[in-house]
């Protein structure tokens, strides 16, 4: 009896507990299905678990409305590598879906169009392919559609012209090949339309020029032809059109007039006067100064808002100054063959040099590290490294938290997209953490600029902002992250590196370090001082590239000291540092040996393994089990002995990197 009562009570409690969110319980199933699809390996959405109320705040990135229904899903930049499921269409109250900056594959399901409340759809910078579903035209509340930087192909659906409230359509950097639908001109609310870097052909529809709120239209790098509607002149710099096969027009600076084409072209625009006053269409200059790299905003709300604004600015507005930039950069492109191919050969642009706004670069009065004649470098070399603050802010969307990759003790690292579309990493360092002595700082910077090797992360640019009190180093982006992400993996993890990859990573690091130690530029060995699995980055093809070479030369002594302490804690610091307080090439060799051990064992923490005691003939027992026996015994043995030598207690007995490389290259 009591038992029954007890059970009833329990049951009731259970219902009391469950009932307020009963509606969201059905959404729970949907969310679990979404999770399985977005994150099939369950690496990211670990917090999405059954038997938990998704509206309780426990589900990462899920926000509910007052009715207890899912309103927003914000999972930007999380490394999601799955696909977007049809199931998402069941979240009827969804207003915002933010899945940008991930690695999502597959198609965009047409079912998404049944989300009639959805106003913000951010899928930019993923790997989505297939057609853009025409059903999207049914989404009556859609305001922002961000599909840029994907692999969408096919045509731009004419149905997009049925949208009721769109303000931003960003479709740039896809593989769309169709004409531009004239229906887009009927979008009375549209302010920005970016179609650049696709394979669009045909004319720019006259109707588009009639869209009353349009401020920005970017059609660069397509195959458009025909006569440009004169009315687009009202957009001034908001209209970007270079690199199209056969556009012509009157009074557009970069276009020939259309004598021959116009007569045969049925799409020839009528003479047209804009009904509205031409508006000033200066790009919104966002005030970035409220964030800085020492303290990026902690709140995820702000992160989302910044994300939204930032992506708007980044994805759409960044086109605004590309034209100016191309003009400004052209000479740099010519003088620096290393800048990525995509920026080269911007033909037929008039030479008009826009001088780099040095005001953004100055560090303090008379403290402009890259000012003319100060560094001993030719102006061309320096210019190719100079970025202005605006470029850095735009690339990182005003240092939006969305783009924050890591935050260390003295720097913050952001991902960014440059205007040529290349992805970079921006490292920002507070001025107070830099060397205060100008000459020394300059020397350091010169050294860093001089480093060029395929196994070192390439420094693409540099900028100091007096206003923000920060310096920025712009590096190439390594798409496969750092080596440390490939250690301590569970059995069967898809990240487990194959044997041959491990060997080539070791070879690459050795070459990179070898280059630093044999530095021909400075004729003096450059000691890296901070080699670790974190600093070994992997590019698209898993080539290893070493990060932060020479960085210590820019940093204040106490900052360098604290990085050494961190490196000691992780076991990379050679023992002699404790006694001599100095580092030389042999300390880099030590750290290299540690990394070789890490690659062989698959483990971060090798100090417990007591490696020097492991007999050479039974080292195989502590090789990474994840290799599942698939390795070359002779190579493994060789690497093992190299690692042992490199981590020798006595620095005199450690080999030089030259010796190591010789050893590695012998059969
Ligand atoms: C969803 O996101 C939008 C835009 O960031 C925001 O205005 C709204 O308050 C969010 N809704 C909830 C329930 O968090
Ligand atoms: C992107 O998708 C294509 C198929 O469309 C696939 O072959 C490729 O591996 C994907 N890339 C990444 C990085 O997921
Ligand atoms: C949605 O769009 C498709 C194709 O554009 C159309 O056939 C269908 O009738 C639309 N559905 C609704 C509910 O409007
Ligand atoms: C843009 O077009 C120019 C000229 O056709 C071409 O050289 C360049 O590679 C294109 N850029 C990109 C990123 O496709
Ligand atoms: C940006 O914000 C800073 C600090 O809040 C302020 O001093 C500065 O005037 C602002 N600049 C602009 C362009 O709004």
Specify the domain boundaries for CATH 3.30.200.20 within the chain: 342-477
- How is 144-194 classified by DSSP, letter by letter? EEE--SSEEEE---GGGGG-SS--EEE--SSEE-SPPPGGGGG-TT--EEE
Summarised one tens digit per residue, pLDDT across range 258-316 is: 754 333 334 433 333 222 333 333 334 445 554 565 554 333 333 333 333 333 333 33
CA dist 11 and 26 (Å) reads 20
Percent of the chain with pLDDT over 90: 46
pLDDT at 505: 97
pLDDT at residue 403, rounded to an integer: 84
Is the CB of residue 63 below 6 angstroms from any atom belonging to ligand 1?
yes
Q: E strands of 448-520, at which residues?
A: 459-465, 470-476
Least confident of 83-97, 193-207, 525-539, 600-614: 600-614
Confidence of residue 245 (pLDDT cuts 50, 70, 90): confident
Mean pLDDT across the chain: 78
What pLDDT score was predicted for residue 610?
Answer: 67
Residue 588's contacts (CB-CB under 8 Å, 6 or more residues apart) are: 513, 516, 517, 527, 528, 529, 531, 657
Angle at the Cα of 96 (from 95 to 98), degrees rounded to 5? 165
Which ligand 2 atom minimizes the distance to the CA of 106?
5
What does the pLDDT read at residue 338? 26
| CATH 3.80.10.10 residue ranges for the chain | 2-260
Cα 243 to averaged position of ligand 4 atoms, centre (Å): 7
pLDDT value, residue 436: 85
Q: Is the pLDDT of residue 509 over 80?
A: yes
Residues 207-222, mean pLDDT to the nearest whole number: 91
Ligand 2 centroid – CA 200 distance (Å)? 23
CA–CA distances in Å: residue 662 to residues 452, 508, 514, 590, 597: 22, 13, 11, 17, 19
- pLDDT attached to residue 25: 47
Task: Flag whether pLDDT at 195 surpasses 60.
Answer: yes
Question: What stretches of 19-130 show up as alpha helix (H) in DSSP?
Answer: 22-38
d(CA 448, CA 452): 9
What is the per-residue pLDDT for 521? Answer: 65
pLDDT higher than threshold 50 for residue 52: yes
Which CATH code fits 2-260? 3.80.10.10
Tens of pLDDT, residue by residue over 137-158, are: 999 999 999 999 899 999 999 9
> What are the pLDDT digits (tens) for 476-486?
999 889 999 99
How far apart are the CA of 278 and the centre of ligand 5, in A? 27
295 to 77, 298, 310: CA distances (angstroms):
19, 8, 18
Query: 413-452, pLDDT tens digit by residue?
Result: 998 888 777 889 999 998 888 988 878 888 888 889 889 9
- pLDDT, tens only, 332-374: 332 222 222 222 222 222 222 222 222 222 333 333 444 444 4
Kindly tell me if the per-residue pLDDT of 588 is higher than 80: yes
Per-residue pLDDT at 24: 45
* pLDDT band with cut points at 50, 70 and 90 for residue 204: very high
pLDDT surpasses 70 at 519: yes
State how far the Cα of 318 lies from the Cα of 154, in Å rounded to an integer.
25
Range with the largest mean pLDDT of 25-29, 254-258, 402-406, 505-509: 505-509
Residue 18 has pLDDT above 90, yes or no: no
Nearest CA to 61 out of 92, 38, 82, 86 is that of 38
For domain 482-667, give the fold: Transferase(Phosphotransferase); domain 1 (1.10.510)
Which atom, in ligand 1's list, is nearest to the CA of 72? 1
The yes-or-no verdict on residue 409 having pLDDT over 70 is yes
Range(s) of the chain covered by CATH 1.10.510.10: 482-667
pLDDT: is 440 or 516 the higher one?
A: 516
Tell me the percentage of the chain whose pLDDT exceeds 70: 75
Ligand 5 close to Cβ of residue 290 (< 6 A): yes
Examine the pLDDT at 21 and tell me if it is beyond 60.
no
Q: Does residue 330 carry a pLDDT above 70?
A: no
pLDDT at residue 576 in the model? 87
* pLDDT at residue 348 in the model: 24
75 lines ligand 1 (CB under 6 A): no
Long-range contacts of residues 271-280, Cβ cutoff 8 Å, at least 24 apart: 271/230, 272/206, 272/209, 272/210, 272/229, 272/230, 272/231, 273/231, 274/209, 274/231, 274/234, 275/212, 276/212, 278/234, 278/236, 279/215, 279/234
User: From atom 5 of ligand 1, which residue's Cα is the shortest distance away?
Assistant: 305
Ligand nearest to the CA of 113: 3
The CATH code of domain 342-477 reads 3.30.200.20
Mean pLDDT value of segment 250-258: 79
Q: Is 71 in the pocket of ligand 1 (CB under 6 A)?
A: yes
Residue 316: predicted pLDDT = 34
pTM above 0.75, yes or no: no
- Ligand 5 atom closest to Cα of residue 287: 1
pLDDT at 286: 46
Indicate if the pLDDT at residue 108 is higher than 50.
Answer: yes
Residue 280's pLDDT is 33
Q: Which of 74, 96, 121 to mutate to test the pocket of ligand 1 (most atoms within 8 A of CB)?
A: 96
Look at residue 561 and tell me whether its pLDDT is greater than 70. yes
Proximal ligand: closest to the CA of 138: 3
Structure confidence by residue, pLDDT tens digits, 542-554: 999 999 999 999 9
Q: Is the pLDDT of residue 78 over 70?
A: yes
Tell me, in angstroms, the distance from the centre of ligand 3 to residue 511's CA.
59
pLDDT of residue 322: 34
pLDDT of residue 373: 45
- List the Cα angle 350/355/361 in 5-degree steps: 145
pLDDT of amino acid 246: 81
Q: Determine the pLDDT at residue 12.
A: 47
Residue from 81, 139, 82 nearest 110 by CA:
139
């Amino acid at each position: 009896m009591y038992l029954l009562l007890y059970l009833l009570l329990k049951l009731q409690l259970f219902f009391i507990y469950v009932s307020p969110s009963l509606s969201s319980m059905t959404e729970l199933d949907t969310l679990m299905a979404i999770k399985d699809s977005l994150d099939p390996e369950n690496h990211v959405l670990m917090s999405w678990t059954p038997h938990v109320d998704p509206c309780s705040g426990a589900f990462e990135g899920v926000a509910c409305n007052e009715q207890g229904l899912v309103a927003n899903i914000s999972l930007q930049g999380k490394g999601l590598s799955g696909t977007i499921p049809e199931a998402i269409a069941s979240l009827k109250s969804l207003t915002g879906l933010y899945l940008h900056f991930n690695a999502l594959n597959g198609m965009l399901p047409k079912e998404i169009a049944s989300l009639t409340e959805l106003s913000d759809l951010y899928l930019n910078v993923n790997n989505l392919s297939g057609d853009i579903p025409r059903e999207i035209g049914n989404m009556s509340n859609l305001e922002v559609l961000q599909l840029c930087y994907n692999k969408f192909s096919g045509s731009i659906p004419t149905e997009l012209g049925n949208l009721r409230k769109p303000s931003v359509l960003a479709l740039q950097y896809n593989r769309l090949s169709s004409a531009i639908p004239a229906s887009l001109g009927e979008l009375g609310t549209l302010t920005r339309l970016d179609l650049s870097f696709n394979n669009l052909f045909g004319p720019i529809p006259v109707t588009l020029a009639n869209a009353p709120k349009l401020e920005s239209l970017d059609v660069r790098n397509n195959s458009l032809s025909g006569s440009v509607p004169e009315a687009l002149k009202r957009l001034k710099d908001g209209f970007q059109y270079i690199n199209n096969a056969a556009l012509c027009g009157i009074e557009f600076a970069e276009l020939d007039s259309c004598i021959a084409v116009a007569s045969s072209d049925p799409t020839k625009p009528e003479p047209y006067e804009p009904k509205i006053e031409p508006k000033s269409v200066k790009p919104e200059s966002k005030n970035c100064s409220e964030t800085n790299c020492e303290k990026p905003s902690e709140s995820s709300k702000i992160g989302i808002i910044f994300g939204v604004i930032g992506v708007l600015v980044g994805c759409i507005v960044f086109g605004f100054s590309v034209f100016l930039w191309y003009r400004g950069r052209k000479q740099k492109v010519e003088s620096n063959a290393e800048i990525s191919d995509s920026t080269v050969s911007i033909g037929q642009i008039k030479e008009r040099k826009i001088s780099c706004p040095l005001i953004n670069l100055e560090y303090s009065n008379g403290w402009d590290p890259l000012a003319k004649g100060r560094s001993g470098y030719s102006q061309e070399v320096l210019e190719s490294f100079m970025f202005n603050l605006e470029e850095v802010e735009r690339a990182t969307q005003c240092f939006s938290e969305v783009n924050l990759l890591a935050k260390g003790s003295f720097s913050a690292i952001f991902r960014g997209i440059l205007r040529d579309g290349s992805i970079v990493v921006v490292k920002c360092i507070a001025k107070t953490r830099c060397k205060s002595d100008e000459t020394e700082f300059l020397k350091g910077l010169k050294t860093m600029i001089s480093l060029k090797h395929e196994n070192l992360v390439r420094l693409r640019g540099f900028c100091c902002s007096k206003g923000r009190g920060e310096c920025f180093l712009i590096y190439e982006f390594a798409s496969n992250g750092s080596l440390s992400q490939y250690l301590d993996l569970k059995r069967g993890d898809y990240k487990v590196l194959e044997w041959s990859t491990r060997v080539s990573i070791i070879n690459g690091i050795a070459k990179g370090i070898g280059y630093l130690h044999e530095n021909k530029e400075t004729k003096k060995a450059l000691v890296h001082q901070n080699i670790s699995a974190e600093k070994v980055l992997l590019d698209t093809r898993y080539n290893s590239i070493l990060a932060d070479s020479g960085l210590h030369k820019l940093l204040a002594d106490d900052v360098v000291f604290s990085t050494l302490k961190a490196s000691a804690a992780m076991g990379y610091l050679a023992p002699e540092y404790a006694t001599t307080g100095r580092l030389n090439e042999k300390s880099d060799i030590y750290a290299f040996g540690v990394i070789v051990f890490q690659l062989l064992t698959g483990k971060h923490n090798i100090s417990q393994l007591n490696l020097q005691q492991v007999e050479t003939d039974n080292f195989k027992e502590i090789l990474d089990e994840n290799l599942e026996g698939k390795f070359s015994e002779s190579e493994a043995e060789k690497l093992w002995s190299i690692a042992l030598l490199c981590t020798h207690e006595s620095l005199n007995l450690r080999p030089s990197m030259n010796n190591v490389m010789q050893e590695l290259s012998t059969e």
